[in-house]
């Protein structure tokens, strides 16, 4: 993730309609970037030494584009807040599972999460009923560790790779990575994607064991190992905003 020191939230008039946005300063950015998503709304990434006057100029210059995008994403008033209450859904292995939040017996406090058909049953202590996110995240992390490590093992054997450690945690900019020592790292939220999409990401990182770059030989190997990877990665790009709690 790009290093930042501050964020500024504000409202601008875009084509005479108010639009909420946030400014994020970045040491790595070389030019001002405008991004619109359901998770973050309208975000302005501002190079480190640029001034806020540059933000106003960019908003005016790209007003038509901004107006279309915030309307399409439904974020004119800011990011969409994802609710975690009974009836809402969470993706698990590509399947939307309806949340069913229940209270534990008074004598029990440890949260319990179970997947049942197309539902996700979350049983919580009374004190935790208003915020089921920690329990769901913990369950997803555990599922991700089990599933991803198994897929790395099986796909490595199938294609003749010898990976090092497999690390599953939180990543904000990439779904996976491969270190120079052959260790593979994955974002736990990848377990929200369908199994074939997960396999495409695993194959991508396994191929980096042979070619630690994105050159022609890497892509030729990836095409052999996972011929459908381009289509599968499109799913990740299209559903990116759905894979957050």
Listing DSSP states for 69-93 in one string gives HHHHHT-TTSPPPPP-STT-EEEET
Instruction: pLDDT band for 1, please (50, 70, 90 cuts).
Output: very low
139-242, CATH topology level: Zincin-like (3.30.2010)
pLDDT tens digit sequence for 7-51: 678 899 999 999 999 998 888 889 999 998 877 889 999 998 888
pLDDT tens digit sequence for 79-117: 877 778 888 889 999 999 999 999 988 777 788 999 988
Nearest partner of 208 among 175, 163, 167, judged by Cα = 163
**Cα–Cα distance between 135 and 90 in angstroms, integer?**
13
This prediction's pTM: 0.74
Is residue 244's pLDDT more than 90?
no
pLDDT tens digit sequence for 45-68: 999 888 888 999 999 999 999 999
Per-domain residue ranges of the chain: 7-73, 89-137, 139-242
Is residue 240's pLDDT more than 90?
no
Instruction: Give Cα separations from 217 to 202, 203, 207, 208, 214 (angstroms).
Output: 18, 14, 10, 10, 8
pLDDT tens digit sequence for 138-178: 999 999 999 999 999 999 999 999 999 999 998 767 899 99
């Amino acid at each position: 993730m790009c290093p930042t020191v501050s964020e500024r939230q504000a409202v601008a008039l875009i084509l005479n309609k108010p639009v909420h946005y946030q400014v994020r300063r970045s040491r790595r950015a070389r030019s001002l970037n405008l991004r619109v998503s359901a998770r973050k709304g309208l975000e302005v990434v501002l190079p480190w030494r640029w001034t806020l006057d540059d933000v106003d100029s960019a908003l005016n210059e790209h007003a038509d584009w901004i107006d279309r995008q915030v309307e399409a994403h439904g974020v004119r008033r800011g990011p969409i807040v994802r609710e975690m209450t009974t009836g809402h859904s969470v993706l698990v292995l590509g399947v939307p599972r309806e949340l069913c939040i229940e209270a534990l017996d008074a004598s029990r406090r440890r949260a319990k999460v179970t997947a049942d058909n197309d539902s996700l049953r979350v049983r919580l202590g009374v004190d935790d009923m208003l915020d089921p996110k920690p329990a769901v995240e913990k369950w997803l992390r555990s599922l991700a560790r089990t599933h991803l490590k198994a897929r790395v093992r099986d796909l490595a054997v199938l294609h003749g790779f010898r990976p090092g450690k497999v690390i599953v945690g939180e990543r904000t900019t990439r779904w996976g990575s491969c270190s120079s020592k052959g260790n593979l790292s994955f974002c736990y939220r990848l377990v929200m994607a369908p199994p074939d999409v997960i396999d495409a990401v695993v194959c991508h990182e396994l191929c980096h064991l042979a070619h630690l770059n994105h050159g022609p030989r890497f892509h030729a190997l990836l095409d052999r190992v996972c011929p459908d990877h381009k289509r599968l990665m499109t799913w990740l790009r299209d559903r990116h905003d759905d894979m957050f709690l």
